[in-house]
Chains A and B, each alone.
Chain A
């Protein structure tokens, strides 16, 4: 089945140690999104790619970066994770204007 896959499902990292989360898709969608969802809060958009065009939300901290080497893969890099970055990170894809968004199962990040 076509889907969005996030690895790993659970990630534990040390305070200040760079960490990378990955997302892959078999849907061939142009747009890929990264959302951060803290405990008991709504998902909050960090950034998205439209093909190779990167779009950062205005309030996304500089500590968060992303790479999209090809259509299928997108990575979220956290340069120096703080305790406040502990959250569920959700990847989603869509075709422009299609109103069909597909979410991965998420990666729960713990910072120790």
Chain B
């Protein structure tokens, strides 16, 4: 069975600082990995996904993530945080393109 672990339930950064949200996965087969963002009382919006093509994946709003098989990681980064990035972020894994299994989420706070 596949799973993801997000390290840090809350992350706080200053506006303009680097954003790093951590995700490690466990999967018995090559995984498909996703990052979603959720604003309060909203659904989930896809930021980016890894589908076994390029290991460095670029997404929307300046986010990117790198798939590292040796570390079983798929950390999300953004060079410069903006106030509008404050939200909850979920890492998710899927096998064979079936159902998504989500991590516990990381709430990102951006300080002015």
Contacts and interface: CB of A to CB of B under 8 A. Distances in A.
Interface of A: 6, 9, 33, 40-45, 48, 88, 90, 92, 94, 96-99, 101, 103-106, 108
B63 interface: no
B46 A108 contact: no
Interface of B: 32, 34, 36, 41-46, 49, 51, 90, 94, 96-105
Given A42-B105, A43-B102, A48-B99, A99 B94 contact: yes
Contact of A33 (B42, B99, B103): B99
A73 B20 CA distance: 38
B97 A98 contact: yes
A45 B104 CA distance: 13
Nearest to A105: B43
B44 A90 contact: yes
Nearest to A55: B99
A97 B51 CA distance: 11
